[in-house]
Structures are given as C-alpha cells and as structure tokens.
Chains A and B, each alone.
Chain A
Amino acid sequence: MAMVIEELEGGITKVTLDGKLDIAGAAAVDMKMNVIAGSRKAVLVDLQQVSFLGSMGLRSLVAPARAIKGRGGKMVLFGPNELVEKVLKTSGTDTLIPVHHELQSALAALQ
C-alpha cells in the first residue's frame, strides 16, 4: 500500500492511497494516518487506486476520522470503486466519513 500526502489550497490535506487496504496495507499506513489525524483538520482520502478494503483497512480509516472529528475537523473519502464502496456502506463507515465521487464536492465538503 503506497501513500502520498499533498497539501492543497485552503488547508486541505489530500492523502492518496494506492494498493490493497488489507491487513498488511492497513499496517503500512496506520502510523502515518495517525500522524495526520493528530495534526490536520481537513483531510481528503483518495481511494481511486485502492483495489481492496477489509475490516482492518476500515479501522485505518475510521480511527483517524474519529480523531479528526474529535478535534473539530472533517475527513472525506473520494472515489472508491464499487466493491470498496460496498464495504464502506455495509459497515456503516459512510455515515461517519462521507463518500464523494466528484472531486469538487469532496473539496467543498471540507471547506
């Protein structure tokens, strides 16, 4: 699982994940996601290149989202494929972390 972090205009941090958010993928990103959760208030997680999401991967998204929300911030998910989105919906994760398929709406949600 590869992870690229970009700082966008308006104080938005874009985290692009590439690969599988399985047990190994989750372990690979957990520490960096926790750092982001503790320091950023507007986070967009780009899931367009995420081909798999399991329950350990869900933890890697939910825990940072809760932390960011607890600090008064927001996190959104962008561009999951159909199967990844099914995992998000089945688990209820989409109720905590909004899912967007248009970049502009995702960015607007963080303003």
Chain B
Amino acid sequence: MIANGTNQTQDRLALQSRLSEIAQVPAWTEDLASRYAIPGDVQFAMDLCLEEVLSNIIRHGYAGAQDRPVIVNFTKLREGYFVIVVDDEAPYFNPLDAPELPMVSPAEQSRIGGQGIRLVRQFANTLDYESTPTGNRLRIGFSAAGPQVQPK
C-alpha cells in the first residue's frame, strides 16, 4: 500500500503474462475489500473486469509471450469510488474500440465466447484508455452506487 500524500491510497499488484497469474486477483481484491470497505457487488465487478482485461492482455496483447509485465494499481478516490488501472507493455491496442461480438443466443451458429468486453462495459462504471510511452493503460472506475458504462 502506498500513501500518496492525499486522501487517496494505492495498492499495486505486479503480474507476469501467464494466465495462471490471474489466480492472484481474487485474494488481492478480497484483501482490498476488507481494508477499504469495498461492497461485495463492487468486488465482484472488479474480479470480473480484471479477469477479462488481464486474460485479453495475456492472450492477445502479449500473444502468449510469458514473463512480460502487467501492473495493476488500485486507488480509492473517495468513499464509495474506486479506480483500477491496468498497465501493460503490449502493442498499442484500445479495447474500447473493439466491437462487441454477438451475444450468446439459441442460434446454432452463434459463437461461444467473446463476451468479455461486453461484460466489462456492463460491470464497470467508467472505462478510459490511453497509450503510454511503453504500452497501454486502461483505467476502470467502480462506484458503490450508480449506473454502469453503457455499451456502444
């Protein structure tokens, strides 16, 4: 935990680009939840969004290359509002520009999978992307109350 001189506090999780590393996330968010009074539904949303974002970075951004860094920072901005920032060094890619794939349907031909970005948009309150000098940064905001990001 890092106290940054304001009322904000930060926590950091450093991962390597292996899917097995994502298993560290629930324990990390559980610890955050107990220390920062994060409601259960917000913790669920954090776990969901992080699973989707991290797996996409690892599988697609880093294309299977292992031992590349993924840094996750948590900040409690104010009571009931939390921000998670995910930084990577993968090729530039803005996931917010990616089109949502069709929803699961009874149609035989509809694909299985591809629901990650849709889920992130529904469960996060805010989503912001920026490219950094070394890669990508995705900022995900979670509110204990209020609407989620609307899909494009």
Binding site for B on A (CB under 8 A): 20, 22-24, 52, 54-56, 58-59, 62-63, 66, 69-70, 82-83, 86-87, 90-93, 95-96
Contact = CB atoms under 8 A, between A and B. Distances in A.
B76 to A, nearest CB: 21
Nearest to A94: B104
Given A22-B26, A66-B112, A83 B51 contact: no
Contacts, number: 70
Contacts of B47: 22, 52, 54
Interface of B: 19, 22-23, 26, 41, 44, 47-48, 51-52, 55, 103-106, 108, 112-113, 115-116, 118-119, 122-123
Given A23-B19, A63-B112, A86-B122, A52 B44 contact: yes
B105 A55 contact: no
A95 B105 contact: yes
A109 B55 CA distance: 35
A96 B48 contact: no
Secondary structure of the B side of the interface? helix
B106 A96 contact: yes
Contact of B23 (A24, A55, A86, A87): A24
B48 A92 contact: no
Interface centre among B44, B48, B104, B113 (most CB of A within 10 A): B104
A55 B113 contact: yes
A52 B112 contact: no
Given A55-B113, A92-B105, 18 more contacts: A23-B19, A23-B23, A23-B51, A23-B55, A54-B51, A54-B52, A54-B119, A55-B116, A56-B55, A59-B112, A59-B113, A66-B108, A83-B41, A87-B119, A90-B119, A90-B123, A91-B115, A92-B103
